[in-house]
Amino acid sequence: MRIILQKVSRARVEVVDDAGASDTDAAEAVVPGVGDRHRAGNGFTPPSIAHGYVLLVGVADDDGDREIRWMAHKILHLRLFADTPSSNARISVRYDPAAPTPASTATPQIMQHHESDSLTPTADEAADRSRGGSGSRQSRMQYSILDSHGSILSIPQFTLFADISKGNRPSFFAAGEPVHAERVWHAFNRMLRSSGIEVREGRFGSHMEVSLHNDGPVTLQIDTADFI
């Protein structure tokens, strides 16, 4: 899996052209206030979020349960927020290579997450701070999306696997087959939701327009092939 993560103060996605919607469906589903060319299509209501993440999600043919678990755990526990969390415990996904995922079971595996868990620095982080490498920036990145009660807007993005090594027309041969990619994308979104946070979705296989306010700006590129 490849993901571009953008930390946002707000974001919204609209469907411009839904390949699964008939002309009649589209004509009857104009989104109020956004112009005739922006149509909901098949009842799609443009979702929006306040502070949180926009995730552009690319799936390869060999991505499965292991990649879903690893990516969900990493994104839920990255510390990118300066917001002061509440004292309430949250629900979080723990990365366990042997555990089933929503891709293969109807009941996601979840666990209790306490604020102190995410605030305890690792040995690497402590060493980095002692060297002064990123102390000022780390002081503004203390909390995870679970701690700060953020939301996620998940957008399928097969173009993350574009190959531009030959010629000027990108090749998308490395992108996952659509049926498989959609299944993995939905399973990944369900895994994120099992943490208790709000996850909104774009529309798979559709032409969409994503508007966002990047907070920071903070943008990360994460690829499971680099870690597992």
Active site residue 159: yes
Beta bridge partners of 208: 15
Of residues 84, 105, 159, 219, which has the active-site annotation? 159
Within 53-177, where are the H helices? 65-77, 115-119, 123-131, 135-138
Residue whose entry in the numeric block shows the structure tokens 């680099």 = 226
Quote the CA–CA distance of 128 and 121 in Å, as a whole number.
10
Give yes or no for a contact between 10 and 34, defined as CB atoms under 8 angstroms apart: no
Dihedral Cα 186, 70, 219, 47, nearest 10 deg: 20
Quote the CA–CA distance of 74 and 40 in Å, as a whole number.
32
Residues forming the active site: 159
